[in-house]
């Protein structure tokens, strides 16, 4: 569970960057499409205005041959007759800023028009109808003819509103698809990482079980070695009775200052020192002069190898637990080999680890 929380925290910056990047791309896409639509709308408005202006221009050209005094009336009559207007587009004639005529679905009569200047009229129209686009040109007689078209009207007749909705809808669909693809890839990535973590956990668990099995086998091997040594020592030694031991018996005391570490349930403990007191009960198996110094010298030379050392560093205690019992078995066997050439036999050994703890081994039956 903790690994999963760490994984979520590690993925949080990536999730934020991914979400923010996707949102930014979506906004950028919509903005680019809007710019493209605005360009197309502007082009469409200009084209439409040019077409309407050309239609009015053709009407004006037909009136150029009229005399000066009848020219305004004839121009108005031709525009009324030849140019179609609606609630969304109109045409006007003005001179020196004063309106002379407006064809705008008969919204205003000629008297009302002539009482307004062009600026006031355009403000009135934009307030009531919305924004207008205007295209103007001058006649040879100094009159200004203007064609005005509402922007939303051109957008409607050319289908730009519907086109804009379609493009916006396609942009939203594309953005949603992109988000789904990105989050799917993220899901695959996170799933793969979790699988790796799961496999790593399983591998670590198997490695732990293997280490426990190795430790168990090592403990079993150590115990088997101890049992083998004890069995070998029992078979090599003879069990003596009291009558086979000479009446002249001697006791020697020796001291071993060394350290050892005990294994408990397969776990090695701390190294700690001891002063072992070793008491040997020996007998001279042959007649003759008794030379005690020979026994002392042999035993001291043997024990000197282990003085101020760690018992675990010497055979057989590299594989056998150096307990008091095992150490006593080892000393009995080893010291007996040292004393054999001198004709001495150890029939009992006492090893004291502390004043209150002594282990005794006797060959007497």
pLDDT in tens, 281-331: 988 877 666 677 888 898 999 999 999 999 888 888 888 888 888 888 898
pLDDT over 50 (residue 179): yes
User: For residue 121, what is the DSSP state?
Assistant: H
Mean pLDDT score, 224-248? 56
pLDDT band at 255 (very low <50, low <70, confident <90, very high): very high
Highest-confidence segment of 57-66, 119-128, 297-306: 297-306
Burial code (b: 16+ CB inside 10 Å, e: under 16) for 3-26 equals eeeeeeeeeeeeeeebeeebeeeb
Mean pLDDT over residues 262-279, rounded? 87
**DSSP 3-state assignment of 193?**
helix
> Mean pLDDT over residues 154-174, rounded?
69
For residue 358, the cross-strand partners are 352
Report d(CA 284, CA 218) in Å as an integer.
42
The Cα 134–Cα 69 span in angstroms is 28
Please measure the distance between the N-terminal and C-terminal CA atoms of the chain and give it in whole angstroms.
66
Determine the pLDDT at residue 1. 43
Q: Residues near 48 by Cβ (< 8 Å), separated by ≥ 6?
A: 149, 154, 158
Q: Can you tell me the distance from the alpha carbon of 349 to that of 246, in angstroms, rounded to the nearest whole number?
A: 17
Cβ atoms of 312 and 241 within 8 Å: the answer is no
> Rounded mean pLDDT of 121-144?
74
Q: What percent helix, strand, coil does the chain show, rounded to 5?
A: 60, 20, 20
Give the separation between CA 346 and CA 53, rounded to whole angstroms. 137
The pLDDT, as a whole number, for residue 231 is: 57
Alpha helices in 237-306 (DSSP H): 292-304
3-state secondary structure 205-256: HHHHHHHHHHHHHHHHHHHHHHHHHHHHHHHHCCCECHHHCCCCEEEEEEEE
Reference 11, options 183, 180, 133, 199; nearest CA is 183
**Arithmetic mean of pLDDT, 138-150:** 79
Structure tokens at 357: 């703890």
Nearest to 246 by CA among 120, 344, 136, 147: 344
- Whether the full predicted model's pTM is greater than 0.75, yes or no, is no
- What the chain holds in terms of domains, given with CATH numbers, is 2-161 (3.30.450), 234-362 (3.30.479.10)
Nearest alpha-carbon partner for 254 in 309, 314, 298, 299: 299
Question: How many Å apart are CA 258 and CA 308, to the nearest integer?
Answer: 5
When computed from its CA atoms, the radius of gyration of the chain, rounded to whole angstroms, is 59
Neighbours of 179 (CB within 10 A): 16
Among 231, 239, 252, which residue's Cα sits nearest to residue 363?
239
What long-range pairs does 18-26 form, CB within 8 A, spacing at least 24?
A: 18/182, 18/183, 18/186, 22/175, 22/178, 22/179, 22/182, 25/175, 25/178, 26/171, 26/172, 26/175, 26/178, 26/179
């Amino acid at each position: 569970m903790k690994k999963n929380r760490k994984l979520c925290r590690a993925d949080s910056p990536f999730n934020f960057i991914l979400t923010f990047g996707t949102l930014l791309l979506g906004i950028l896409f919509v903005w680019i499409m809007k710019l493209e639509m605005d360009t197309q709308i502007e082009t469409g408005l200009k084209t439409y205005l040019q077409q309407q202006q050309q239609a009015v221009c053709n009407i004006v050209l037909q009136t150029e041959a009229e005399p000066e005094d009848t020219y305004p009336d004839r121009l108005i009559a031709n525009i009324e007759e030849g140019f179609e207007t609606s609630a969304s587009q109109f045409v006007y004639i003005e001179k020196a800023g004063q309106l002379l005529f407006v064809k705008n679905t008969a919204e205003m009569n000629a008297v009302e028009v002539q009482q307004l200047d062009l600026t006031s009229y355009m403000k009135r129209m934009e307030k009531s109808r919305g924004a207008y686009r205007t295209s103007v040109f001058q006649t040879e007689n100094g009159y200004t003819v203007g064609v005005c078209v509402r922007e939303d009207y051109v957008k409607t007749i050319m289908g730009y509103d519907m086109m804009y909705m379609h493009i916006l809808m396609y942009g939203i669909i594309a953005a949603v698809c992109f988000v789904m693809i990105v989050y799917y890839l993220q899901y695959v990535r996170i799933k793969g990482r979790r699988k790796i973590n799961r496999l790593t956990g399983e591998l670590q668990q198997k490695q732990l079980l293997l280490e426990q099995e190795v430790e168990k086998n090592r403990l079993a091997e150590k115990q088997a070695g101890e049992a083998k040594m004890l069995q070998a020592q029992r078979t090599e030694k003879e069990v003596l009775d009291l009558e086979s031991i000479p009446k002249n018996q001697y006791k020697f005391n020796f001291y071993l200052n060394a350290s050892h570490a005990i294994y408990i349930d397969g776990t090695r403990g701390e190294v700690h020192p001891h002063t072992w007191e070793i008491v040997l009960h020996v007998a001279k198996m042959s007649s003759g002069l008794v030379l005690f110094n020979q026994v002392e010298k042999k035993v001291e030379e043997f024990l000197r190898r282990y003085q101020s050392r760690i018992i675990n560093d010497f055979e057989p205690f590299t594989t056998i637990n150096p307990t008091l019992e095992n150490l006593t078995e080892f000393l009995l066997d080893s010291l007996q080999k040292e004393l054999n050439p001198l004709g001495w036999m150890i029939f009992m050994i006492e090893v004291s680890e502390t004043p209150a703890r002594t282990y005794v081994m006797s060959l007497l039956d």
